[in-house]
A and B are shown apart, each in its own frame.
Chain A
Amino acid sequence: MIDLFGRLAWGELKLFEFFHAPSIDTAVASGAAWMAVLGVLAVMAWLTVARRWGWLWSEWLTSVDHKKIGIMYMVIGFVMMARGVFEGIVMRAHQTTALDGGVLSNTHWAELFSTHGTVMIFFVAMPFITGFMNYLIPLQIGARDMAFPVLNQISLGLTTTGAALVMISLVVGAFETGGWTAYPPFTGADFDPGPGPDYWVWAIALSGFGSMFSGMNFAVTIYKMRAPGMSFMKMPVFTWTALCTSILLIFALPPLTVACLMQALDRLAGFHFFTNDLGGNMMNYANLFWMFGHPEVYILVLPAYGIFSELTSMFAAKRLYGYTSLVIATMSIAVISFCVWLHHFFTMGNSATINAAFGIATGIIAIPTGVKVYVWMATLWGGRIRMTTPMVYMTGFFILFVIGGLSGIILANPAINWQVHNTQFIVAHFHNVLLPGLIFGIFAGVHIWFPKAFGFRLDERAGKITALLWIVGFCLTFLPLYLVGLMGYPRRSAAFDNPDFVPIMIVCMIGACLLMAAFAGLFVTLWISIRNRDALAVPLGDPWDGRTLEWATSAPPPPWNFAMIPHVNERDAFAREKADGQPYVTPERYEDVHLPPNTAAGMVVMIATTAFGFAMTWWIWWLAVASFAGMVLWYVVHSFREHPEVTIPASTVARHHKAWVEAASLNPGVTRDHENDTRNRGRAATDMVVAS
């Protein structure tokens, strides 16, 4: 019986820890476990009561539609973000009490900062950007789907596996305590034989395969499936940033996979890659991890730059200034991002020459980023700016991100880096670039493209209040950390002994509460918008006077995206059509559309790899073998079956398209001044001068 479950035992269940040894520490641990379990049960209960299981399965889980897959990525991101934000609050609460101690145990504190980082980077930021790329790439390049729709679903399955393993670690066993980077030998078998580092290894390795496949899929889609006439320099800017991110994913994920699997071999099979003894070398891990880790920063932030580029030109009603410079800057960032990884460990024994080289490279990468900031400023200059919710996020981003970037320039200098390394200054820096840079971009993007995906706009008033809460909350929570960092407060430290830190940490705690309110504000906005969805409806699909091809579809777009594949002659193809007065036309004849059929491939991979990861963590060898072999066998059998495409008859396509074109031509259109009232049905009355 013992062998059947490996090293898993009843005592590993976190749910009852509080009842055995009541304390604040165990209350937090058990409470979190109960929240995860009850959350899953509540969703299952709703699905059962509302009789939604069949709908969930056939409309979503087995769908290969890139739009639905994109939305599912966003859902994963928000669910995991709830956990990440909660953890942030708990950590801030702990820090206000951390003078000579603190309410949480040291181990629990270490688990919190490790899961917070892991969750936020891998299972919030990554699903968000992957979701956006999934949703937007085919629509922006005038394609009907990804190059590999089934592989796309499998990528989603693998990402879900990683997220699931991290969530399971909340209930069963424990997570690792070595930070999101999980440096051995601290996380090696000698110092932490428990399940924590194994959860990390398998969650990251398995979801990493998913990210790599996503990168391949996006890159091939962009290279091979652009609409006729859309040469590279006519692609929308978001697609450009997505292409660069995809290339980064293809090249940067292998180092992470290699690091994870070597760590797994060390831990499970007694290899000596990163151990202290018998020739192991921990520096190989640090190099491998950051060969992934630094490009990862740009994997995350480039699509957000793409969103900011789209929104400045959209809400300034101008063509993007300096398109070519922006493209070159994006590509430069992608290339240089592979030459700076060592600045993450200037203090770990490299020679001064090497440190100087990487410090200079780090300084250089700031130049193309600076180019972008000027491009956005020049785009806004002289434009007719509408202060919509995305523009509020953009404003916050502009000011705060530049501060974050400048602190990065300071850190690029190895001499200064030595002084502040491993302090809260670093924590302030990376939150300062990731929150305003990435998260603000994502939320701005949600406000822009939500109407496209669901057919109604999000409430502007609630959206703006939420945006302001994010901005103010961010400033209070993270900017003071620069100060305590310079005063010498080490990061990842469970306690401190300087009473001067206490008032500052209380300010941070207040900021964290504002961020919590801001996070809740997202759902309040959603709730208000759903209630007013009829007033906010924009079925004609172009609520913001958009410029690129995704706005030339109804909202939501039909499963086949475009009735006929568009021909592109210029950048901002849809803006051109509108300027020429020919935005909504019906073709002479319609053709049948062929779409890939639904498949359970992604779910099979998700279930099998989750079982595999769990089995490897708990040494349940039979399950590991069975799940892996089962997955391979399923795939082999699957490859023998015919998978006829679903054919949408031309008449269906014609009916949908003609109805939309007719509705659009009957609508008088809305001017930008009335964009935010009920007159906006998704038809823009454009007075745009394309050649501005």
Chain B
Amino acid sequence: MSDTQVNRHPGLDLGYVGSGEAEESKVFGFWVFLMSDLVTFGLVFAVFGTMVGATAGGPGPEEVTNLHSIAIQTGLLLLSSFAFSWASLAMKYDASRWRFLIWFSVAATSGLFFLVFEVLDFHHLIEIGAVPQRSGYLSAFWALVGLHGLHVAAGLLWIWVLTLQILKFGLTDRVKSRITRLGLYWHFLDIVWIGIFSFVFLAGVA
């Protein structure tokens, strides 16, 4: 048994001896889910890649990219992920839940503002007629950026629900295990955003 414990998820420390048997499976299962989700994103990236030129005379990468706003969004999302890692450390080493909750709310707030900026960008696109019905390129653009945005929105819902659970139950083992998985999800979305930032926006205007 002892040699299997070495291979456990390093972020998993629920604070008592013998913990982690069931949690280990859950965290591992969530990694597997993320792997599958990454394939989904990869395919949408691939479809986007084949459709970069399919603008059908409509707005192209130059028109839909607002690098100023994208820079802010990237900063917000990175900040959010950074705050989440501090929250994870607080969960692991701090008995009080308040330090955790402060970092957790920083993560949630910057995630929310990321979405606000993204929605404003989309609103602008509608105004200039860069709607997904206009061309294959715009369909793929909206689907890829939108899919990431929907993931972030789902993650925000998850953060809020867990915040309520922490206020109600405290940092119990069950809640800690859920936070561990949410953390994986949240950092995963950051990595996907790096891809979108590079291949959709930067490469679009380069």
> Which of B54, B137, B143, B168 makes the CB contact (< 8 A) with A262?
B143
> Which of B35, B36, B133 makes the CB contact (< 8 A) with A271?
B133
> Which of B36, B47, B137, B161 makes the CB contact (< 8 A) with A212?
B36
Report B63 CB to chain A, min CB distance, Å: 15
Report B109 CB to chain A, min CB distance, Å: 21
Q: Which residues of B contact A273 (CB under 8 A)?
A: 47, 51, 136, 139-140, 143
Q: Mark A497-541, 1 if CB is under 8 A from B, else 0.
A: 000000000000000000000000000000000000000000000
Contact A224 B47 (CB under 8 A): no
Contact A278 B36 (CB under 8 A): no
Q: Mark A269-298, 1 if CB is under 8 A from B, else 0.
A: 111110101111100100010010000000
> What's the Cα separation between A125 and B1 when bound, in Å?
39
Q: Which residues of A contact B132 (CB under 8 A)?
A: 265, 269-272
Contact B136 A278 (CB under 8 A): yes
Contact B43 A225 (CB under 8 A): no
> What's the Cα separation between A60 and B33 when bound, in Å?
27
> What's the Cα separation between A288 and B168 when bound, in Å?
45
One of A48-56, A253-261, A401-409 at the interface: A253-261
Q: Which residues of A contact B134 (CB under 8 A)?
A: 272, 278
Contact B50 A281 (CB under 8 A): yes
> What's the Cα separation between A377 and B116 when bound, in Å?
64
Q: Mark B145-187, 1 if CB is under 8 A from A, else 0.
A: 0000000000001000100110010000000000000000000
Contact A265 B40 (CB under 8 A): no
> What's the Cα separation between A284 and B54 when bound, in Å?
13
> What's the Cα separation between A288 and B143 when bound, in Å?
15
From DSSP, what is the main secondary structure of chain B's interface residues? helix
Report B147 CB to chain A, min CB distance, Å: 9
> What's the Cα separation between A273 and B143 when bound, in Å?
10
Report A645 CB to chain B, min CB distance, Å: 11
| A212-B36, A271-B139 as given contacts; A220 in contact with B55, CB under 8 Å | no
Contact B135 A278 (CB under 8 A): yes
Q: Mark A570-607, 1 if CB is under 8 A from B, else 0.
A: 00000000000000000000000000000000000000
Contact A254 B36 (CB under 8 A): yes
> What's the Cα separation between A636 and B160 when bound, in Å?
10
Q: Mark A385-418, 1 if CB is under 8 A from B, else 0.
A: 0000000000000000000000000000000000
> What's the Cα separation between A538 and B134 when bound, in Å?
67
Q: Which residues of B contact A277 (CB under 8 A)?
A: 56
Q: Say yes or no for B190: interface residue by CB 8 A criterion.
A: no
Known: A216-B36, A223-B28, A258-B40; 12 extra A-B contacts, CB below 8 A, are: A216-B32, A254-B36, A254-B37, A271-B133, A272-B132, A272-B135, A272-B136, A273-B51, A279-B136, A280-B54, A280-B136, A639-B165
Q: List 11 A-B contacts (CB under 8 A).
A: A147-B26, A148-B29, A220-B28, A251-B39, A271-B133, A272-B134, A273-B139, A280-B139, A284-B50, A288-B47, A639-B165
